[in-house]
Structure formats: C-alpha cells, structure tokens
Amino acid sequence: MRVLHVKLLNKSGLHARPASVFIQTTKRHSSRIIIRKGNREADGKNVLQILSLGIDMGDEVDIIIDGEDEDVTAREVEDLIKSLPALDESHG
C-alpha cells in the first residue's frame, strides 16, 4: 500500500475537469485508489464521489493506492497532481 499526501495547488482543486482527468488516469490501473479529505473518503475511480469531497485549491488530501501496480499508479498520480496547475492555465 502506498499513501500520497498531496496539496492541491491548481485554481480549481479537484473539480469537474481535473477530476475527469484524474479518473482517466486511475481507471488505467488495477490498484484500488481512495482519496481521503479529513474524515471523508471517495473511490478514486468514481468522479461523483471525488466531486462530493469538494476538494479546493490549497486542500491537503491523502491518496491511498493498494494493489499489484501501486508503484506505477502512485508515480502517475503524483505526476498528474503536479501537472494540474498547467491544466488550469491551458483551459481558462
């Protein structure tokens, strides 16, 4: 199991467009992915659950990755989180 503690630095946090990009990444992997904000959790492959967390710019979350491909998945998720500010800039 891998746990990533990340701070969202993009303007829109993990809302509509960034959440859909996150889902596109996570669904390519077999590992189970949970996003935890405070005491609430969401399935990292379910856009509605992610949106229900209301993750905004500056929020800190834990991303728990557990499964056969957790190392590769963790690297891709870390890279994606780092790239989200560029996504804001390229789409308004």
Residue 69, Cα to own-chain centre: how many angstroms? Answer: 16
Cα-Cα-Cα-Cα torsion 2, 63, 78, 88, nearest 10 degrees, comes to 180
Q: How many CB atoms lie within 10 A of CB 4?
A: 17
Confidence band for 19, pLDDT divided at 50, 70 and 90:
very high
Averaged pLDDT for residues 7-25: 93
Residue boundaries of the structural domains of the chain: 2-90
Averaged pLDDT for residues 51-75: 97
Q: How far apart are CA 76 and CA 25, in angstroms?
A: 7
Contact by Cβ (8 Å): 73, 29: yes
**pLDDT at site 86:** 78
Domain 2-90 is found in CATH 3.30.1340.10: yes
Confidence band for 33, pLDDT divided at 50, 70 and 90:
very high
